[in-house]
A and B are shown apart, each in its own frame.
Chain A
């Protein structure tokens, strides 16, 4: 599929989903982006997963990591290292741990929904803003999804969009490629 077709597909999908979300929705594009990434990575076998937005936000990893792990997370990323330079040098875990809780799912686990939700902060490398706004922004997006999900046709519509996306041949690409293509295309719609 060429870029024009992808843009047309995304615009159409945004319009369709727009009926379920408020005009200035936080959640619409993250829902679309993450659903399409998941549809591709799971090779179409797992559309049901997309219908369970609540499940993937459940805390099932051990969130409490050793101090060395937290420090390594900040040190191993050049961008984070420069933003949190002082805290790292001082070993200030009191400041680093709360930031880690917000940044690790986004950057460490690369959750596609969170990456799209905080796309602006990531683009501007404004990690402090991301960490500070993580909880309220996520809660606001989830409440939008909850409201949309309460409407009868929302999930079948989203599933239909993923099905259409897969039928266009995207399952032949890897997750990296799909993420990058979608990211670039979504910036243009």
Chain B
């Protein structure tokens, strides 16, 4: 009975998969314009990104960019420039993206104007940072992180702002350090309220909490980041190292019931992730 039921489910899955494939094929053949292809590639790239397949996503963003460029050559329009800009943002080509959004705004796409400004400001801040002008760079990253509306820029700016400020942290008096960390955690929490499923924000929160010595909370945020997915392999590994680090710190500080409870929960997670042991993530060489 169970076998029949499983088979039915499987058949349904295959049929629905085939249906999606057929619909996509028809959509592709029916909408042969480069604009449609650019949109489809962009949507597919965003879907891959959400499911943590960022390398495939990058390839699809490139395809989307190519199609948008084809469309611009044949029929330049606000939408085509907007699509080109979106692909460029996701490929970290900030200067080109800003230019594309400006052209989209000139052709009547209202939202593109503010996107162009944010992308351009971010590009400027990155070049300030590369020239060693840390303070103005931090100021601009901070403005974008707190007031930006274009989510790819907001995320990138927040990461850069935090890392730049953490670099200055050891030179500050202890009281100032605590004040800075609390303020920055507030900014990340605000970003999380708007986008609670963003693994990268949970990663940032976990890192900041460990600077405050709040290892239990840091561990929980790192678990959230892992479960929601992180956009790059080295981020994923760094986050796993953070989980192990929190485990070691808590092993030293927790006692009695608190330790029993934590270690039980920890074991459940590492079993789920198929880690070799408490301190060896699945990707680590043994």
Contacts and interface: CB of A to CB of B under 8 A. Distances in A.
A42 B162 CA distance: 30
A60 B233 CA distance: 10
B248 A45 contact: no
A66 interface: yes
A93 B232 CA distance: 28
A109 B237 contact: yes
> Range of interface residues on chain A?
20 to 34
B234 A62 contact: no
A63 B211 CA distance: 12
A68 B285 CA distance: 23
Interface residues of B, number: 36
Contacts of A105: 234
Contact of B237 (A52, A63, A66, A110): A110
Most chain B CB neighbours (cut-off 10 Å) among A55, A64, A67:
A64
A78 to B, nearest CB: 13
Nearest to B156: A60
B187 interface: no
Contact of A46 (B55, B231, B234, B279): B55
Contacts of A67: 170
Interface string B195-212: 000000000100100110
Contacts of B241: 108-109
28 contacts: A45-B53, A46-B59, A48-B58, A49-B55, A49-B58, A52-B58, A55-B92, A59-B163, A61-B235, A62-B162, A62-B163, A62-B207, A63-B163, A65-B207, A66-B210, A66-B213, A69-B245, A72-B245, A76-B279, A93-B170, A108-B237, A108-B238, A108-B241, A109-B238, A109-B241, A110-B237, A110-B283, A175-B283
A108 B55 CA distance: 22
A148 to B, nearest CB: 20
Given A42-B55, A45-B56, A68 B234 contact: no
Interface of A: 42, 45-46, 48-49, 52, 55-56, 58-69, 72, 76, 93, 105, 108-111, 175-176, 179-180
